[in-house]
Amino acid sequence: MSHDILERRYRALLRAYPADYRQERADELLEILISEAPATRRWPDPRQAVALVRAGLRVRSGSAARRPTAVLFWQGLHLAAMAVLALGAVIGLDDTIERFEFGGLDDPLDVLLDDGANLIMTAAALATLALGRQRLAAVLVVAAIAVPTAASQNLFANSMPQWWAPVVAAPLVLAGLRRPADVPAVERGNGVLATLGVVALHLVPVDRLSIVDPVQQGLVAIVTVGAFAAFLWVATADQRLLLAAAPTFALGWLHQVMVYPESAMSLYRAEALPSMIVAVAMVLGALAMTRRRQARA
């Protein structure tokens, strides 16, 4: 009975691996793990649990594939497009709600034209991409640039991040149409989780580190360090997340440099040059770790 419970819990941990990998090797892994466990054990060994999750993330990033760099690149493109669109939708939703809260109910049509069209089209492109409908997503992401801009010049004129989201995502989605046949598509659930992780990274309240209250400042610092540490722990095992997160930093940078061109090379504004340095570092880090992994193989 104890081993049955332990097996169920190990199977839960093995969900870190892709479905096809689990089908081929789950029973073999479970046999090894259960055979080494004492008869009274009910919970997986903590070190084994961490190792299983991290190994599963590495397999998802393509370490067991015939062409790991190709898997990293093409699946990374797909996840990057989803992350950019998701972040744009979150920003657009926040701005739309804010406008309704501060007088938008007096003229809802203006709000829908200024913000709603972009939000709807971006969300539609994201949904089709998450469902794996790459060609339809390519059409919708281009429409998400053209239709809201034709409906209202507000977002375009102010160079808002949510307007840039489909612009940044479009080349990623279009490039994804040329994904080689031997590179598997991103699993739907994995793509959604990866996208949520990247968006959550942008919701970390870094800007609140400047508050005066030392207690609140300390709490924000703990949350910030913890969130970034967790993301980097996952991303160093699954380098696709580094590629997925990199272009999301371009949205704030593009908004900033279009509104304040002098900030393009400024280290003072957090949305400008430092953001792009982080983005480039993520891409270079993903490529370096993949090359090192191949050299060890």
Each residue's pLDDT tens digit, 117-157: 999 999 999 999 999 999 999 999 999 999 999 988 889 99
Asked whether the beta carbons of 90 and 201 are under 8 A apart, the reply is: no
Amino acid of residue 100:
F
pTM for this entry = 0.84
Tokens for 177? 């149409």
Asked whether the beta carbons of 38 and 79 are under 8 A apart, the reply is: no
Tokens for 33? 């793990």
Asked whether the beta carbons of 134 and 118 are under 8 A apart, the reply is: no
Tokens for 69? 């760099």
CA–centroid distance for 12 within its chain: 23
- State the pLDDT at residue 270: 47
Would you state the torsion angle of the CA atoms of residues 9, 13, 17, 22, taken in this order, to the nearest 10 degrees?
Answer: -10
Angle at 232 between CA 160 and CA 26, to 5 degrees: 120
pLDDT < 70: residue spans in the chain: 1-3, 104-106, 206-212, 261-287, 289-297
The structure tokens 């792009």 sit at: 276
- State the pLDDT at residue 109: 80
What residues contact 135, with CB distance under 8 A and at least 6 apart?
177
